[in-house]
Structure 1
Amino acid sequence: MMKLKISKTKAGKTAVKAFLAVALLAGPAAVPAGDVSAAGVKATAAPVMTDNLAKFGLKKAMNLPVTLESEGLSYTLHKIMIYDFKSPEVKKLQKLYGFQDSTDIIDSPKYFIWTKVTIENKTNKKMHGGGNDIKASIPLTFATGKMTDAIWPKKLASKTNSKEALWTYSLKPGEKITSYLGYVYNGEFDHFVIRMFYGKNYVEKFVVPE
């Protein structure tokens, strides 16, 4: 069996961290099937896993990615994975990026929600903010009256436009960033709606209807 040689350089370590983060989101279904016979016949690759909503009884009305736009702000949700907060997957993310055990709003989270998103600035002005701004202007809702709270990756506190775990962002006109944003949640799962409150418009898309 061929052994994977991992670089010990800074760039190599960064690549490994990014790979682990993507692997946690993608899940095993995202890995193409390999050779299944000596003749080299390949099995059909499994479809890429974009979410695990069905695990929580949620039946999608639309598939990801889903994009919302308002007055030059574009948000695309590519993937979303929900984990028990005490799961091994969450412990790996906490070790990688310094996610804490709670937030100012949610003291004892039941779930950690790991999302892959693209934020794009289609305006003619610079756009900047952080995870709390994204949470306020583009909330994710799973049950009426229940709030998801964006969680801060402490180890990347000084990093702007991180492609591993997003918090602070700064986008020039026409610029976009694809990264990963974490949330915590303490409620039930009844539906899944993405809303956008930006400018004078109000946009919503029910990925899972009520």
Structure 2
Amino acid sequence: MKKTTMVKSVLAATMLFSVVLGNGSITNAAATAKPANTAKPTVTAKPTATPAPIMRDNLSKYGLKKDVELPVTVTAGGLSYTLEKIMIYDAKSKDAQALIKKFNYSSEGKYFIWTKITVKNNSGNTIKKNYADLSEKWSLGFGERNNTVFLTMPRIKASSPNDKEALWDWSLKPGQQMSSYQAYYYNGDFKYFVIWLDNKNSSATQYIVNPPEV
């Protein structure tokens, strides 16, 4: 009886030692295991592309060196005129002919001048240029008074007031503004570049290219 009890005690002690030894091995293995790498990968930002500069004029092609950069705003009698862009073409050039044919402009001059403008009525009355008021509110000059820069009609848009593609007739109520394009012809030389604005007995002048010194 004593022998059987002793055998059972030895077996129990052996099993307990095995369990403790096994747990120690597991614990040591867990302690020595390297932690998982949880750091987020580094993301390299792509360089932002620099937008191309807007080409607002080609005046230098005709020997005109700007004293003022576009856009330029002139105001008179509550009317604000902003010249956003101006491109001068030989009237027979591909670019000029494309616009002439698109809007059915006449072919009347040596140079075809294409302008982008924004006009705003800051007065308390309606300002217009149409059959009820034929006076031109603004004009351009390049230095030869005997060779006027004259506005030409886009025949396709002639009956479309405040047209956004090619302007002819227009009317602006107080606080109203519009952006559009206008075409001119010119036959003279290029000495300077000036904008004249005239509205309600008020006028203003803005030189983009100053006259040469005498």
- The TM-score bracket by the shorter chain reads 0.7 to 0.9
SS of residue in 1 equivalent to 2:208: strand
Partners of 1:74 and 1:55 in 2: CA distance: 28
SS of residue in 2 equivalent to 1:207: strand
Aligned residues: 165
Partner residue of 1:13? none
Partners of 1:166 and 1:43 in 2: CA distance: 35
Partners of 1:123 and 1:185 in 2: CA distance: 32
Partner residue of 1:124? 124
Partners of 2:105 and 2:48 in 1: CA distance: 40
Structure 2: where are the runs of 5+ without partners? 1-44
1:142 aligns to 2:142 (yes or no):
yes
Identity score, percent: 42
1:52 to 58, 65, 71: 58
Please identify the structure whose Cα radius of gyration is greater.
2
CA gap of 1:77–1:209, structure 2 versus 1, over 3 A, is same
CA apart distance, 1:139: 1.4
- Once the two structures are superposed, residues 154-210 of structure 1 have per-residue CA deviations (whole angstroms, 9 ceiling, x without a partner) of 011211110000001111111011000000000000000111122333311110011
Letter in 2 for 1:120: K
1:68 to 69, 74, 80: 74
Partner residue of 2:114? 114
Structure 1 length normalisation: TM-score?
A: 0.73
Letter in 1 for 2:121: N
Letter in 2 for 1:195: W
CA apart distance, 1:144: 3.2
Deviates more, 1:200-209 or 1:54-63: 200-209
CA apart distance, 1:41: 5.2
Partners of 1:150 and 1:122 in 2: CA distance: 24
Partner residue of 1:22? none
SS of residue in 1 equivalent to 2:156: helix
SS of residue in 1 equivalent to 2:97: helix
CA contact (8 A) 2:144 2:188 kept: no
1:156 aligns to 2:157 (yes or no):
yes
Partner residue of 1:171? 172
- Once the two structures are superposed, residues 128-153 of structure 1 have per-residue CA deviations (whole angstroms, 9 ceiling, x without a partner) of 2149957x431100013131000100
Letter in 2 for 1:80: I
RMSD: 2.1
